[in-house]
Structure 1
């Protein structure tokens, strides 16, 4: 009898110990909270965001959200000075910027360079779109070439890639910004101005350049020297985001969808164009007509750093500071995410 009691006590002790040991295992296997969606920002008015927009739509439900904004949203620090530097806003004043926080944000390399002065942790991870810029000029203003821009009034959104494009074209003709009159306007207001004859020429992105060209008809001239400059529109992230294993996994998964989005943009852009028409409020046919002024590489261009080095010198002169060197700028590019996305 004493032996049976001892055996029973041992069995109960073992059961109690086993129950205590099982508790942590149950906690480990408890379902985890779903990850926060990846937030991808790009300005509402630009066509360059198209591949990202389609990639977000095709991602698994609830995993990606999009919003209007740009590189400043990586730190939730709006850049009101950029919008305030030009006139022609629809409401008479710049719209309030979206203060939201982005995991990925689209912009031309110009804004990456500008924001990286205060935020050197920004990283370019992929170039989705290249904008093939051009100058739209009025023939009636006596313009037949870049050289004829001397002394003319040119509408441009200052401190943007369109302003750098104008700089490059003028430089190629032996001119500088001091040889023309810069009229700082939004893209839409600039197109309106050249159509009305308030300015002689316009440097801007699509589809406003196409809208101006169509409205001017035979009086319009499209100036687009080969090899001058093309906008390099990329998705950017914070270095800290890319070091976080969970966020990095989300970014890589999104880049895989993005690669498919870029193929669609080149081969079958109809769905993307319709999405952009709804998002931007632009006419769908106008978007279709201006589409060939873009390329969609979903890569990191071989000359990306070269362009950034030259553009940094231009920006530094505007800011009255010393330009950063090539080694410093090279740290703003992180090719590792794209390699992971391609290595399925």
Structure 2
């Protein structure tokens, strides 16, 4: 999508107006734009992530009436009513698994992004191969998608978490300082902190990205209760349709999406641009989503000392109907 398409303007162009009209009309009993203003869709996501880029664009530039994105993830769905819980929230699949233990009505409705993880290490720490990670300090964040990726990478080299020294960092922003300041020998976290570390280490950086059959699946989530409410479901379907359109067209020109991420996170545009290729934005339920949930559930259950839920139980967390209905809206778009 060209940057001009997204640019704010007093009036929408004819094609954009027709798209929005279809998204509104095709939703049947859905509220009008005026009703959206009185009863807006509330969206939350971790604002420091690049994966949120198409959500920002869809919410700000395409969704009828616009919508703000509140900082936070899945837990914001379950705030008490007086705190205005979100109706949809983004988070990696790891957090969907963890939160659904106490909130089995959580539903995964779309994969917004895939994060293609990598490991950066210091050559000066004596690391030239993955096997050299044995005994080394690796900075990451505990039971997260980054931690699960590290688990799989270590296993591919015949290692486990017990063979390394995990340096748990409480917040992802500026986590790259741990390896830059030589407080860690390797780093595994989502972008753009990885790219910041690579840039700072220069020739001392060595990168590993083995094929371990796992990407972070950054999903859009809601609740069964929201989907059972016809008005709320219609809002969610329209937003997912807008998100699908944004993701599809932004592949041709990510300029504005990158700028919006920079504005929201405070990271430099150039840093976001360099980290951008380590993501893909399918805006469709990942075909391997259930397989990943099964594998990751076993990993989390071992850490938490509980029985792992079976495949059928995890399948109930996925609702493909929203993506199906959103695609139907877009298929009725002219041209």
- TM-score bin (small chain): 0.7 to 0.9
Matched residue SS, 1:232: strand
Q: What whole-Å deviation, never above 9, does each CA across 1:98-127 have from its counterpart, x for those lacking one?
A: x65110000000000000000000000000
Check conservation: 1:125, 1:237, Cα contact below 8 A.
yes
Based on CA coordinates, which of the two structures has the bigger radius of gyration? 1
1-side partners of 2:134 and 2:59: how far apart?
45
Q: Which residue of 2 aligns with 1:286?
A: 271
SS at match of 2:35: coil
Structure 1 unaligned segments of length 5 or more: list them: 1-30, 78-98
- The equivalent residue for 2:146 is 162
Residue pair 1:191, 1:208 contacting (<8 A) in 2 also:
yes
Retained in 1: the 8 A contact 2:33–2:64?
A: no
Gap change, CA 1:225 and 1:265, over 3 Å in 2: farther
**TM-score when normalising by structure 1:** 0.82
C-alpha distance 302-141 of structure 1, shift in aligned 2 (>3 A): same
* Count of aligned positions: 293
CA contact (8 A) 1:133 1:165 kept: yes
Which of 88, 91, 97 aligns to 1:104? It is 88
| Aligned match for 1:59, one of 59, 62, 67 | 62
Matching residue of 2:322: 337
2:237 is paired with a residue whose SS is helix
Equivalent position SS for 2:103: coil
C-alpha distance in structure 1 between counterparts of 2:174 and 2:275, whole Å: 18
Whether 1:211 and 2:196 are equivalent positions in the alignment is yes
| Residue matched to 2:43 | 40
Q: How does 1:12-31 map to 2 (within 5 A)?
A: none
Equivalent residues of 2:117, 2:215 under 8 A apart:
yes
> Structure 1, residues 196-247: CA drift from partner, whole Å, max 9, x if none?
1111000101000000001101100111012442100000000010111001
**Which segments of 5 or more consecutive residues in structure 2 lack a partner in the other structure?**
1-31, 330-335
CA RMSD of aligned residues (A): 1.6
SS in 2 for 1:119: coil
* CA–CA distance in structure 1, aligned partners of residues 193 and 33 of structure 2: 47
3-state SS, counterpart of residue 334 of structure 1: coil
Is 1:72 aligned with 2:75?
A: yes
Deviates more, 1:106-115 or 1:184-193: 184-193
Q: 8 Å contact 1:137–1:143 — kept in the other structure?
A: yes
Q: CA deviation at 1:173?
A: 1.2
Alignment of 1:110-121 (within 5 A): 110-121=94-105
Q: How does 1:142-153 map to 2 (within 5 A)?
A: 142-153=126-137
